[in-house]
Chain A
């Protein structure tokens, strides 16, 4: 779920009610396979790749992409996690609190960093992540992989690898779990 949806209703998101299933678990896994293929194709293998999951929704998918890349290339890319709470631009407007640890492997100088998140919505989390990444070194390039791109960007940001393009209304919510992708609403 995108950060904005999760923070949407006080105190922390209402109840998510699914209306339709967009991807089933097996379709989600196929999308991950395709994305893993695209990542190694574009970067000529798995060397120098660091998959960085954005806390909290992106982290499990960073691990699943790493599993898939390992099966394809027989080398496992490094995996890390990043919490961007302190880099967000809505500090002071809404509660912004860290959720889970940041753990990045070694330093990122010269690495290809692939940021991984579950839902790409306004792009503000990714903007914060780009900022945060630079405190850890100077990657050769930074790319973005998302399971669902639901549109409604507020910043000039796009994803390099997309599991599913999903046109949505602003007031809808997208829930991504290991069981698949659902479209619905958050009821307050």
Chain B
């Protein structure tokens, strides 16, 4: 595996191998000194054309815990502001000798272009509405830790599906691991062509509330809307917000998830993230482990990730 551009490039086994690797890094993160020399001498560049706190810090933390060097390009204060093209910026980075570029871009497909232009490994940290593969992997890890497995579980993804790269990547990853996904939201926030996705679609949150193992809530992405798609925030809260009244109908074992940043009081009532069944903090913690796993798989395992066998098979092979 050379790049991580989208979940689509991974099969079920590939996802499970990365999650297995991520568990090993989760253990590293619990050590008194959570740092290993695995990627010593490698350089990872962060190229963020869109605002981000958790993803950028998470990738930087992951790279540093693997002893890689990081450079962070704040696009607003760089040559990009002077009109430099994506290709020129990327080639400048490559000339400085980076081994991997973590890119977030407002245009879908930008990481794919970089992968064509550069020799470095490209990690997609979110491109437009399209894909956010490490988010999907960390969500899978979080669900697996809590429920044991995704196979057969019922997952509702609620909210602004249309503008959400998280929803696209998660539908892909969840269904590959055997979960059944229901998308919930108003028709205006459903993506075109949703009937071809391997999911159920519902326009009533109350109708699906009792049947789910995981409630995955999304932020309304006002900044991506070019036309009014919702009457008002209050109207949205009334029909699709996870209010305390709706949450009271949920079983205590139902996981509440959110990729962040949250708008408390809109898609989720202000007090709910503090519940035991809310795993947003686990998601952030797992994000570092998953990104360590991806960086290690791309840069550290001698590109042998494809032939990786699960631990049990390795031990068996010697006898």
Q: Which A residues lie at the B interface, using CB under 8 A?
A: 1, 6, 10-13, 16, 56, 83, 85-87, 91-102, 107, 131-132, 134-137, 175, 177
Q: With both chains docked as a complex, state the minimum distance between the C-beta of A113 and any C-beta of chain B, in angstroms.
A: 14
Q: With both chains docked as a complex, state the minimum distance between the C-beta of B36 and any C-beta of chain A, in angstroms.
A: 4
Any chain A CB within 8 A of the CB of B265?
A: no
Q: Which chain A residues lie closer than 8 Å to B33 at the CB level?
A: 134-136
In the bound complex, do residue B302 and residue A94 qualify as a contact, i.e. CB atoms below 8 Å apart? yes
Interchain CB contact (< 8 A) of B302 among A13, A92, A100, A101: A92
In the bound complex, do residue A95 and residue B307 qualify as a contact, i.e. CB atoms below 8 Å apart? yes
Any chain A CB within 8 A of the CB of B300?
A: yes
In the bound complex, do residue A177 and residue B319 qualify as a contact, i.e. CB atoms below 8 Å apart? yes
A12-B314, A135-B33, A135-B35 given as contacts; is B24 within 8 A of A95 (CB)?
Answer: no
Which one of A86, A87, A92, A100 has the greatest number of beta carbons of chain B within 10 Å? A86
In the bound complex, do residue A96 and residue B302 qualify as a contact, i.e. CB atoms below 8 Å apart? yes
Listed from nearest, the 7 A-B pairs whose CB atoms lie closest are A95-B304, A86-B36, A98-B24, A135-B33, A86-B38, A11-B307, A99-B311
A86-B28, A135-B35, A175-B319 given as contacts; is B21 within 8 A of A98 (CB)?
Answer: yes
Question: Which residue from chain A places its CB closest to the CB of B35 in the assembled complex?
Answer: A135
Q: Which chain B residues lie closer than 8 Å to A98 at the CB level?
A: 21, 24, 311
In the bound complex, do residue B300 and residue A12 qualify as a contact, i.e. CB atoms below 8 Å apart? no
Question: Which residue from chain A places its CB closest to the CB of B314 in the assembled complex?
Answer: A12
In the bound complex, do residue A12 and residue B317 qualify as a contact, i.e. CB atoms below 8 Å apart? yes
**Interchain Cβ contacts under 8 Å between A and B, 24 examples:** A1-B318, A16-B319, A56-B314, A86-B28, A86-B296, A87-B36, A92-B301, A95-B301, A95-B304, A95-B305, A95-B307, A95-B308, A96-B301, A97-B308, A98-B21, A98-B24, A99-B311, A99-B314, A102-B27, A135-B34, A135-B36, A136-B31, A136-B32, A137-B32
Q: Which of B266-319 contact A (CB under 8 A)?
A: 296, 299-302, 304-305, 307-309, 311, 313-315, 317-319
Alpha-carbon separation in the docked complex, A13 to B301 (Å): 17
Question: Which residue from chain B places its CB closest to the CB of A132 in the assembled complex?
Answer: B36
Question: Which residue from chain B places its CB closest to the CB of A9 in the assembled complex?
Answer: B317
Q: With both chains docked as a complex, state the minimum distance between the C-beta of B28 and any C-beta of chain A, in angstroms.
A: 7
Q: With both chains docked as a complex, state the minimum distance between the C-beta of A136 and any C-beta of chain B, in angstroms.
A: 6
Q: With both chains docked as a complex, state the minimum distance between the C-beta of B103 and any C-beta of chain A, in angstroms.
A: 23
In the bound complex, do residue A135 and residue B32 qualify as a contact, i.e. CB atoms below 8 Å apart? yes
Q: With both chains docked as a complex, state the minimum distance between the C-beta of B160 and any C-beta of chain A, in angstroms.
A: 38
Q: Which chain B residues lie closer than 8 Å to A99 at the CB level?
A: 311, 314-315
Q: With both chains docked as a complex, state the minimum distance between the C-beta of A175 and any C-beta of chain B, in angstroms.
A: 7
In the bound complex, do residue B32 and residue A13 qualify as a contact, i.e. CB atoms below 8 Å apart? no
In the bound complex, do residue A97 and residue B21 qualify as a contact, i.e. CB atoms below 8 Å apart? yes
Alpha-carbon separation in the docked complex, A95 to B1 (Å): 12
Which one of A11, A16, A107 has the greatest number of beta carbons of chain B within 10 Å? A11
In the bound complex, do residue A94 and residue B304 qualify as a contact, i.e. CB atoms below 8 Å apart? yes
Alpha-carbon separation in the docked complex, A101 to B20 (Å): 11
Q: Which chain B residues lie closer than 8 Å to A1 at the CB level?
A: 318
Any chain A CB within 8 A of the CB of B231?
A: no
Q: Which chain B residues lie closer than 8 Å to A95 at the CB level?
A: 301-302, 304-305, 307-308
In the bound complex, do residue B319 and residue A85 qualify as a contact, i.e. CB atoms below 8 Å apart? no
In the bound complex, do residue A85 and residue B318 qualify as a contact, i.e. CB atoms below 8 Å apart? no
Alpha-carbon separation in the docked complex, A150 to B221 (Å): 63
A92-B302, A94-B302, A101-B27 given as contacts; is B315 within 8 A of A10 (CB)?
Answer: no
In the bound complex, do residue A85 and residue B308 qualify as a contact, i.e. CB atoms below 8 Å apart? no
Q: With both chains docked as a complex, state the minimum distance between the C-beta of A153 and any C-beta of chain B, in angstroms.
A: 22
Any chain A CB within 8 A of the CB of B148?
A: no
